[in-house]
A and B are shown apart, each in its own frame.
Chain A
């Protein structure tokens, strides 16, 4: 799989400098193309009053987290009654061999809750607290969601415990943790060396993982001067056919690769874990140019790839200077001649695009030839007012990457068009290849509108590398007003000032549930809100 990714990246490199792009996935261009009462959404025409989910976040700082509700039929006056805060609670106990029943555990632990909204796909939620469990255990206020809950004892001799729970609004969910007795733990001890008897002269950590890369142990330091380490795994780990031991440097400045070893937990670690001959750090110099040949300043540059000994190396990141010059300290490539990849991330606002280039770094270092970056591709379009051929001026346009285009690296940065739509409703964005959600955010009382655009090298692009989208129209707006209040029994307060209220449309797109943000607002001091949603 990794070699396939590397091949794709190389393909990207080869195409990089001459790439053109295209493609837009729009099933409708305006509400006029839809049936009566329907609105043109990114996935096609649909009823704007259906498939609505509203998320309310009253006050996270005060432990009042997100609650999500389905809205069967959206009304103009849409009051929202919140439940009491959802709670995750339970006991933390530890097995003791000397006693027949577990005893309460009362040392510091971290409870980490990571997951996603139950109703709004893609809306991630996370909560974390460090506490000392009492005889009544622990209690943590959380948002509604589907979570992995991990208990991480501060005592690193105890392995992390993870379980899954779903939490509905207002619900109190119980999750008890039972830590294993010290005598029942699966223990793995070993030694990390560079080669033979030669130790690694930098700080390292080791961690045991299962086949799905889920942690079986905590991260443990490797003793400097001896290379020794000891890991504690849950008793169940002894039943696994194999576990993975990952060795990582603690600092990116350490010129040491990451390497993963497979061991049999019943047999233990019988040989030292050898990182291999990965060489000594060398200097790589080079110069980056924009597509027009001008030096590219303030670009982020780094190197990744396989090095001698079979480990994976990630260099530190550096910035290019005013002349586009960079100097990077990195490990050399593997002796078999396989190449590393040079990654270039240009700063926002330039025409240069993300560039990946395979480079060979010998053990003497390298002075690279100039690297000319691929051009970001221009996406142009025209926006119209609802039910009109009049241009929509003064609209903000954002592009949010949602998926990568096959053969191209994934970009993480959202891009804002440098200007609002002009008097003719025109906009322009410079984008790297990928799939984007374009959000159009009007400043008048009109709802935000989104479209999905795929930018990829190839057809339907002008010779200047411009993708021209067909004109499409904003939707009419409908004002929704309401009051948000608590209706539970535990909270004294009923009004909910400064609460975040977001409306999503949740539908299946190509068989996968997908959420589209329709409107977002905040309640006022008295708990009332108003939002503008699309309508016909």
Chain B
């Protein structure tokens, strides 16, 4: 014995237009479960952008910005900086310049690469040693000198950091900027000093 509900359904399905409407509704409902609604897949995790290194200013040596009477009572100098970079895998280089002249650029007087470490604070330090009496002394000429260090987490062209070109998953290139940090000292070398 059929219920009134089933009898009504049977009567309706006997009408052709209603039959096709029912089939369409069934397909639409089942498609909602079987066919993906969203055709855009999740992309890879975004590439982290480069972050700048910094010079730990409290530990810069010499701690005085202005060094007077070099060559008189002071016959050698050791400049050093300590670098912190949150990107621990970055290759950090230090470029030392004495009396840099942009019109007659001769490149850095000394380049020093910092050994990578497992923490942001690099254990290796960038040194520039100066010995008044030695050949090759950059600061033995009497007068005022400017000693600069540029630390960089990317290649330098001149003194400008170059971006790293990263190819994104969609094939486009992205220029991830490189960064520099600088520090400078003034050195006054006295004429006729006693250091030889």
Contacts and interface: CB of A to CB of B under 8 A. Distances in A.
Interface of A: 57, 59-62, 110, 112, 114, 124, 126, 128, 148, 150, 205, 207, 209, 213, 215, 219, 246, 248-252, 258, 298, 300, 314, 316-317, 319, 343, 345, 347-348, 354, 356, 396, 400-401, 409-414, 416, 441-443, 445, 498-500, 519-522, 524, 531
Given A112-B69, A114-B73, A298 B107 contact: yes
Contacts of B56: 498, 522
Contacts of B73: 112, 114, 148, 150
B123 A522 contact: yes
A124 B107 contact: no
B112, B136, B141, B194 — which one has the most chain A CB atoms within 10 A of its CB? B136
Given A441-B115, A520-B125, A298 B106 contact: yes
B87 interface: no
A481 B99 CA distance: 41
Contact of A416 (B111, B129, B190): B111
B192 A248 contact: yes
A59 B131 contact: no
A251 B58 contact: no
Contact of A347 (B106, B113, B194): B106
Interface in B109-161: 109-113, 115-118, 121, 123-125, 127, 129-131, 133-137, 141-143
Contact of B135 (A60, A215, A345, A499): A345
Contacts of A401: 131, 134
Given A128-B64, A150-B73, A500-B59, A396 B115 contact: yes
Contacts of B59: 57, 59-60, 498-500, 522
A343 B135 contact: yes
A213 B58 CA distance: 36
Contact of B110 (A414, A442, A531): A414
A110, A209, A348, A531 — which one has the most chain B CB atoms within 10 A of its CB? A348
Interface in B84-104: 104
Contacts of A498: 56, 58-59
A126 B121 CA distance: 26
A62 B57 CA distance: 11
30 contacts: A59-B59, A62-B58, A112-B73, A114-B73, A150-B73, A207-B192, A248-B191, A250-B191, A319-B106, A343-B135, A348-B109, A354-B135, A356-B135, A396-B113, A396-B124, A400-B129, A410-B133, A411-B136, A412-B131, A412-B134, A412-B135, A412-B137, A441-B115, A442-B115, A445-B118, A500-B59, A520-B124, A520-B125, A521-B121, A522-B123
Interface of B: 56-64, 68-69, 72-74, 76, 78, 82, 104, 106-107, 109-113, 115-118, 121, 123-125, 127, 129-131, 133-137, 141-143, 190-192, 194
Contact of A412 (B58, B64, B127, B136): B136
B184 to A, nearest CB: 15
A413 B112 CA distance: 12
A441 B124 contact: yes
Nearest to A204: B191
Nearest to A343: B135
Nearest to A415: B110
B123 A521 contact: yes
Nearest to A404: B134
Contact of B190 (A219, A414, A531): A219
A520 B124 CA distance: 7
What 3 A-B pairs come out closest when comparing CB atoms?
A248-B192, A412-B134, A60-B63
A113 to B, nearest CB: 10
Nearest to A150: B73
A414 B63 contact: no
Given A348-B110, A354-B135, A411-B134, A251 B142 contact: yes
